[in-house]
Amino acid sequence: MTLRYAMIGGGQDAFIGAVHRKAIALDSCAEFVAGALSSTPERSIASARSLGLAPDRSYGTWQELVEKESNRSDPVDFVVIVTPNDTHHAIARACLLAGLNVVCDKPFTITSDEAKELHKLATRNNLVCAVTYTYSGYPMVRHARELAQSGKLGTIRRVFVEYHQGWLSQNIEQSGQKQASWRVDPSRAGIAGALGDIGTHAEHLARFITGCTPTEVSAHLTSFVDGRILDDDASVHVRAENNVHVTLTASQICTGEANGLSIRVYGDKAGLVWKQETPETLTLIHNDCSRTTYTRGMGNLSPIATSSTRVPAGHPEGYIEAFANIYRGVCDQINAVRTGAAETDLAGVVPNAHDGYLGIRFVEACVTSSKNNGEWTSL
Amino acid sequence: MTLRYAMIGGGQDAFIGAVHRKAIALDSCAEFVAGALSSTPERSIASARSLGLAPDRSYGTWQELVEKESNRSDPVDFVVIVTPNDTHHAIARACLLAGLNVVCDKPFTITSDEAKELHKLATRNNLVCAVTYTYSGYPMVRHARELAQSGKLGTIRRVFVEYHQGWLSQNIEQSGQKQASWRVDPSRAGIAGALGDIGTHAEHLARFITGCTPTEVSAHLTSFVDGRILDDDASVHVRAENNVHVTLTASQICTGEANGLSIRVYGDKAGLVWKQETPETLTLIHNDCSRTTYTRGMGNLSPIATSSTRVPAGHPEGYIEAFANIYRGVCDQINAVRTGAAETDLAGVVPNAHDGYLGIRFVEACVTSSKNNGEWTSL
Amino acid sequence: MTLRYAMIGGGQDAFIGAVHRKAIALDSCAEFVAGALSSTPERSIASARSLGLAPDRSYGTWQELVEKESNRSDPVDFVVIVTPNDTHHAIARACLLAGLNVVCDKPFTITSDEAKELHKLATRNNLVCAVTYTYSGYPMVRHARELAQSGKLGTIRRVFVEYHQGWLSQNIEQSGQKQASWRVDPSRAGIAGALGDIGTHAEHLARFITGCTPTEVSAHLTSFVDGRILDDDASVHVRAENNVHVTLTASQICTGEANGLSIRVYGDKAGLVWKQETPETLTLIHNDCSRTTYTRGMGNLSPIATSSTRVPAGHPEGYIEAFANIYRGVCDQINAVRTGAAETDLAGVVPNAHDGYLGIRFVEACVTSSKNNGEWTSL
Amino acid sequence: MTLRYAMIGGGQDAFIGAVHRKAIALDSCAEFVAGALSSTPERSIASARSLGLAPDRSYGTWQELVEKESNRSDPVDFVVIVTPNDTHHAIARACLLAGLNVVCDKPFTITSDEAKELHKLATRNNLVCAVTYTYSGYPMVRHARELAQSGKLGTIRRVFVEYHQGWLSQNIEQSGQKQASWRVDPSRAGIAGALGDIGTHAEHLARFITGCTPTEVSAHLTSFVDGRILDDDASVHVRAENNVHVTLTASQICTGEANGLSIRVYGDKAGLVWKQETPETLTLIHNDCSRTTYTRGMGNLSPIATSSTRVPAGHPEGYIEAFANIYRGVCDQINAVRTGAAETDLAGVVPNAHDGYLGIRFVEACVTSSKNNGEWTSL
């Protein structure tokens, strides 16, 4: 069944909203029918018009959208929230209270208490509440998870995960760059900068693949660029469940790096490497120092990796397909819940509100540790 | 203006039809409204139903589609042809005679005379007739074209282009693999096997980047797998305009290669390398042996490369986006012709019927040369 | 002038001694004439014989070698010390007191006080005392140093240096593997395991390239393999001079990694990457996300990189050549001191006793920090 | 037993002579004791002096060297010939007639008849006569040979071998560059330019790995640079034994390429790739599109690969070590012949006069084919 969705945020000038829409369009699994796309009613309605929404579903504010959609006989099946971080909680809360399924951008909320509340609300109302940790949508990341959790690496000991960008190595927020401005502003971004914006992706990636949740952290957050209040660089040593140690670094002042997310996981039998900028391959490192590289779309991959793909090996897929895989999971889940075939648990591969909560809790512990000179801090 | 399109071929079990549909959906630049999707009316209509087409535009045969669509007050704006090679000419001819714009898969036709006829027909009727040489849709291929044709490499001398796959290294056609069966059958594929199927992509890629058309060829075609009539491996030495020499190899028996299309171009000042399986980067080889790698989405690329992209550098795009760039060009062109703003020439970056013709002529010359023991054969 | 040298350690079964000898032989800049090659007189003399040393310079013990060589009319020009860590100090001290130049393996000594003493002794006696931080001998590392210290990267902010191996991921010391046994034994290796053995290489590499000495560290040392007393894994956050932050990781339990030393340095204008396992190239990361890769032996490199090479670009050099570059520097320096042309300072590019001292001081600070839960500890 | 050798050619200004000497010194398997190093007696003797040869073995001409060395009671054990191509035959012939073992640079001779004569002479006199096809000395090339010839790839069908350089993309011979001048001069280089200089390396590499000798060729030789008589670019389609097809390209006008020798071999079960500029790894391409990369020095390689290495995996070896492996084989063979333990056949892994002959015969057939417009020409 083709579903219908609304979007809050993502109007003209926004970047990520268009990506969400393209990802959903790719597989035609949901139709875009309603929106409250900007922070002012005028711009919201102008954006809705330019994107072809019907006038009666082109809303001026998110409050109006939630109220009117939930009172229609044919409400949207889910709401996509792509606003700045500080508004996620109020919007998601309103949607869940109104009985609307939610897909929310990360970081999920400002505080972990807010995230916990949303998770409880979704569970109680039997609603889907997904968080777009996009990178877990890549087929080879899903295959990495299978390899790691099926024991192919032996006992997992050591993880190196990093997310390095360079676009904030200069003070571009002072010249009004929109994407930069809100990310460096504590009132909109929350208590962390690079750590919240991209470090949470790294944290989720490591947890998604290994299955081990962080238990304590020793963190050092730094602001390299003059006048910046929040961190633009973070270095965290993590102890996770099952005695897994993780070195996590997130930085937005690595000049010249575009979107350098990568992970290496070592067990006592083998290791693996995956790099987001070349996402089609996954390399297994054997004990004898030989390496085997698997390619998306080839035979002999795990079912979850195989079902997350559209074109044959050698015809590259990328970021939009990874995003689309998250949405496929969301749509499948909504349909399954509707037909009574499943709970709203998202079956493990689609990140949910609990994952969002763990991400915020991680940020909070790191900020505390860094203030205490890197002291080990429990989550 | 959002356009509407029909598809001929591309029903259940087909691979490439779905890719065309996803590529068009990605940018929402045209809507899928009509189809004659399979070789029997029953399967055509079943496929149309499963893809959500309206009953009155779910046609049993392509003849019916062409007749009825061209007589509607709201006909489709273009027809996508994704049937086996031997039917391209008749279908495209009927569409063009009926005043319908065409997008046709490659190789364009069986004979170069057929291709020439279609090119004349499109020009005379002022219709768009595009051929999906997909790989020219990649932003970094378009940037390579700019570098090469703006003199950045100096005088171009030497090209190495190869398209190596391994999926036909065993006789899978005998076990009924559908994709293989028609490609190795001269009555459906034409006079060439690997050369026609993938060698034509390589030929177009070299011509697209260098701007130099082949003038004579010395070719060796081989069938390695027992019982195969058409070539599954081709090695061609090409002399092109401006004394450019090209070594072109196309093979489908390179065991383990997925979709190994790559090109290297050397001038007297610099060289360049692009590989389809890692399409996001383009490397410029400097005279002093240093190399500079450019990434899709970064600043400082040529306008055509920059406008062919959707997400920032480091968020990988791939094959479907390349395809979508072809379709963007087609839709822009149709709109421009409608408003009188342009001819149907496709402005150089979208391959048209003339490109399709040059491809078939190349295949014919290679087959002749190979029969004559590699004798130089003019195009 | 061709020099002559003696070796202490490096007999049969040893690994690194033979590498030193090959490195010296490569350029024929010194002749091997004397040795005390093993820990027992019998094995020392047998090893000397098999390596073709003259009987009167085949010594049973290092004490004998130092005494007799220093009393000859034609003593060796320098002594190479390649014994386990715990003996370095006593041997080097005896050599320096006897007026013999020294080349000593790393880590230099067990305690930083010992290292400081040796440095003073060498300076006072105007003797060369080099420490074989081999990796600084690679031409592209030397070029990286030039780029970083000439301001090509802008103000340096952030360094990631790692040295990851996998050969100790199993408890091979229990089965008597000789290379493993002494490295995991505190009485022979000192207070650190992986950190001392390979972390000191990483520390030196970062300091050599950036020119910034660590000022405080927050370190976490771990022993993953059961029964191991010393660390087999270390994660260190370093604050260095000029507000440079370094993430340094050293591990010997990264299963399947052979000798994974690599470094990335980011300034506010550009970054660079070098990887020891592909040492012939150095990549400069530009602010616009393009990357330029330089190759050893090409034109336009810095003089120090150019003079550290033997064969043209594209004819790979490796580890032995890097080692040979250290020895070239040592021999040049000894000759220069002899002729009064220079001090024994080694002119910056050959690591000396002071570098050895800084390495040990770094290890001591990391061990202290780790014992105090990662507390920032000054050097 | 340590052997002694003489060198003919390789004086001041020469490049390759010094490489031979370093390669031999690396393992100390032979001592350099005599030489006729340049084309004039004065320069020969000056070069000998600067390299430390004894006055009585510093010869003015190669004729003098051959005569006097063969009449000594302690003649050299072998003679290394590193002069321009046109002199190889006369020198090697004189050595072999005088009972001296020979190591000769490639291409072996000017004509295949000359090569055949030398091969007969060496065989008849039971002398070692090796040709330095250096690249077969790389451990991973030797492992590739084992994989290919042991059936790991299945039936071999298709080979792509290329040797691309850029250093002759400008007319540097006119400005007197010494390395270029003789290589483009037919009176010194012979009938081929790039094909003889580097194409013969490519031909040998393909034959060494596959074990299949070319039987007929279709070749196109081109001179791109104005005024050049010999080819600076060659494209050859080769049919070899067992129906193996080889595409071989050799070019010295690929601007910016340093020393781009690489080979890919495909059988009906698997393929392999090796690239000279990153010689430490060899990649096996599996039928399912996964790839396994092996590293020199790791466990589980073939005995010949393992015995051709000096330092552990991850400590890069390179070109000089490959050269040294050729010399190790030569020295072992000379010792084995002396002790009656072996014939002078070089046991397969060290290229001999017969290999040199096959190389020249290949060049001759290509030149003939090219003159006849690419006609298939038998060897």
Contacts of C314 in chain B (CB under 8 A): 289
pLDDT digit string, tens, across residues D200-231: 999 999 999 999 999 999 999 999 999 999 99
- Asked if residue B107 has a cis previous peptide bond (ω within 30° of 0), the answer is yes
CA separation, residue C357 to residues C89, C90, C182, C345 (Å): 11, 15, 22, 15
Query: Distance from C372 to chain B by nearest Cα, in Å?
Result: 40
* pLDDT score of B343: 67
| Cβ pairs bridging A and C (under 8 Å) | 133
**In a 3-state reduction of DSSP, which class is residue A260?**
strand
CA gap D150, D145 in Å, rounded: 8
A113: closest CA of chain C, how far (Å):
28
Share above pLDDT 90 across residues of chain C, in percent, rounded to a whole number: 87
pLDDT digits (tens, 9 = 90+) for D25-84: 999 989 999 999 998 999 999 999 999 999 999 999 999 999 999 999 999 999 999 999
DSSP 8-state code for residue A199? I
Q: How far apart are CA D238 and CA D243, in angstroms?
A: 10
Which segment, A336-350, B344-358, D111-125, is predicted with the most confidence on average? Answer: D111-125
Q: Does A373 contact C267 at a Cβ distance shorter than 8 Å?
A: no
Taking alpha carbons only, the member of C281, B292, B264 closest to residue D262 is: B264
C343 pLDDT band (50/70/90 cuts)? low
Collapsed DSSP state (helix, strand, coil) of residue D232:
coil
Shortest distance, CA A153 to any CA of chain C (angstroms): 9
B258-311: pLDDT as tens digits: 999 999 999 999 999 999 999 999 999 999 999 999 999 999 899 999 999 999
Interface contact flag, B235 D245, Cβ < 8 Å: yes
pLDDT tens per residue, range C132-145: 999 999 999 999 99
What's the DSSP call for residue A327? H
User: Shortest CA distance to D210 belongs to which of D148, D165, D142, D252?
Assistant: D148
The four Cα atoms A152, A155, A157, A160 give a dihedral, to 10 degrees, of: 20
Asked if D342 is an interface residue toward chain C (Cβ–Cβ < 8 A), one would say: no
Q: Per-residue pLDDT tens for C10-32? A: 997 778 999 999 999 999 989 99
Q: What average pLDDT does the segment B90-105 reach? A: 97
The residue that leads in pLDDT, D237 or C189, is: D237
The predicted pLDDT at position C129 comes to: 96
A252 touches C at CB < 8 Å: no
pLDDT band at B347; cut points 50, 70, 90: low
pLDDT for A64 equals: 98
Q: Please report which helix (H) or strand (E) contains residue A7, including its range.
A: strand A3-8
CA C290 to chain centre: 33
pLDDT score, position A180: 85
Taking the Cβ of residue B319 and every Cβ of chain A, the question of whether any pair is shorter than 8 Å is answered with yes
Nearest CA to B251 out of C47, D268, C174 is that of D268
Q: Which of these, C325, D351, C146, D266, lies nearest to B225 by C-alpha position? A: D266
CA distance C323 to chain B (A): 25
Tell me the HSE value of B248 on the side-chain side, using a 13 A CA sphere: 32
Q: How high is the pLDDT of residue C379? A: 93
Q: Which residues of A touch D291 (CB under 8 A)?
A: 292-293
Cα dist. C268→A168, A198, A226, B295, C285 in Å? 10, 20, 12, 20, 11
- Which pLDDT value is given to residue B25? 95
Alpha helices in D174-273 (DSSP H): 178-183, 186-189, 194, 200-210
Q: Specify the pLDDT at position A340.
A: 83
Which run of H or E residues covers position A273? strand A270-275
Q: Does B333 touch chain D (CB under 8 A)?
A: no
B216 is written with which tokens? 């004579």
> Chain B closest CA to D365's CA: distance in Å?
16
* Chain A contact probe: residue of B275, B277, B293, B295 with most A CBs at under 10 A: B277
Mean pLDDT, range D326-347, rounded to an integer: 82
Interface test with B, best of C281, C287, C293, C309 (most B CBs within 10 A): C293
- The confidence score (pLDDT) of residue A316 equals 98
Confidence tier at B238 by pLDDT (50, 70, 90): very high
Residue D12, pLDDT above cutoff 90: no
Rounded to an integer, the average pLDDT of C249-271 is 98
Those of residues 202-231 in B touching chain A at CB distance below 8 A are none
pLDDT at D347: 58
pLDDT at B346: 56
Amino acid D343: pLDDT: 67
d(CA C96, CA D127): 51
**A293 C-beta neighbours (distance < 10 Å), count:** 18
Alpha carbon D152 to its chain centroid, in Å, reads 26
Cα distance between residue A166 and residue C286, in whole Å: 10
User: Residues 93 to 132 of B: which have CB under 8 A from any A CB?
Assistant: none
Residue D165 CB contacts under 8 Å (≥ 6 apart), including other chains: C314, D194, D198, D251, D252, D254, D257, D258, D259, D260
What's the rounded mean pLDDT across residues B146-174? 96
User: Which pLDDT tens digit goes with each residue over C58-99?
Assistant: 999 999 999 999 999 999 999 999 999 999 999 999 999 999
> How many contacts does B have with D, using Cβ atoms within 8 A?
134
Q: What residues in C contact A158, CB-CB < 8 Å?
A: 224, 233, 251, 253-254
Contact partners for chain B, using 3 or more CB pairs closer than 8 A, are A, C, D
User: What is the structure's pLDDT at B185?
Assistant: 86
pLDDT of residue D344: 59
List the A129-131 sheet strands across, edge first.
A30-36, A3-8, A78-81, A101-104, A129-131
Note the pLDDT of residue C274.
98
Q: How far is CA D265 from CA A183, B160, D148, D289, D355, in A?
A: 52, 18, 8, 15, 20
| Structural tokens at position A331 | 């749509």
- How far is the C-alpha of B265 from the C-alpha of B275, rounded, in Å? 12
In this structure, are residues A261 and A163 in contact, taking their beta carbons and an 8 Å threshold?
A: yes
Closest-CA residue of A relative to C269 is A255
User: How many whole angstroms separate alpha carbon A158 and alpha carbon A173?
Assistant: 36
D371: left (phi over 0), alpha (psi -120 to 50) or beta: alpha
What confidence score (pLDDT) does residue A344 get? Answer: 59
Amino acid at D378: S
Q: State the Cα angle at B86 between B81 and B88, rounded to 5°.
A: 25
Considering only alpha carbons, which residue of chain B is nearest residue C290? B294
Question: B313 CB near a chain C CB, below 8 Å?
Answer: yes
Helices (H) and strands (E) in chain A, counts: 13, 14
Sign of CA dihedral C299, C303, C305, C306: positive
DSSP state of B350: S
Where residue D341 falls among pLDDT bands split at 50, 70, 90?
confident
Q: What is the pLDDT of residues C125-173, one digit of tens each?
A: 999 999 999 999 999 999 999 999 999 999 999 999 999 999 999 999 8
Tell me the per-residue pLDDT of B116-135, one tens digit each, with 9 for 90 and over. 999 999 999 999 999 999 99
**For residues C137 and C132, what is the distance between their CA atoms, to the nearest angstrom?**
9
Q: Percent of chain D, pLDDT > 70?
A: 98
The pTM assigned to this predicted structure is 0.97
Residue B26 confidence (pLDDT): 95
Evaluate whether A236 touches A206 at the Cβ level (below 8 Å): no
Residue C47 structure tokens: 């090893």
Q: Which two tokens stand for residue C186?
A: 């505190």
pLDDT band at D180 (very low <50, low <70, confident <90, very high): confident
Q: How far is B149 from chain A (nearest CA, A)?
A: 27
pLDDT lower than 50: segments of chain A: none
Mean pLDDT of chain B: 95
What's the CA angle centered on C353, arms C350 and C359, to 5 degrees?
95
- Interface ipTM: 0.96
Rounded CA separation A160/A249 (Å):
8
pLDDT band at C229 (very low <50, low <70, confident <90, very high): very high
Contacts 24+ apart (CB under 8 A), D303-310: D304/D142, D304/D143, D304/D145, D304/D146, D304/D349, D305/D139, D305/D140, D305/D142, D305/D143, D305/D146, D306/D139, D308/D137, D308/D138, D308/D139, D308/D142, D309/D139, D310/C18, D310/C19, D310/C22, D310/C320, D310/D26, D310/D27
Residue C119 has pLDDT above 70, yes or no: yes
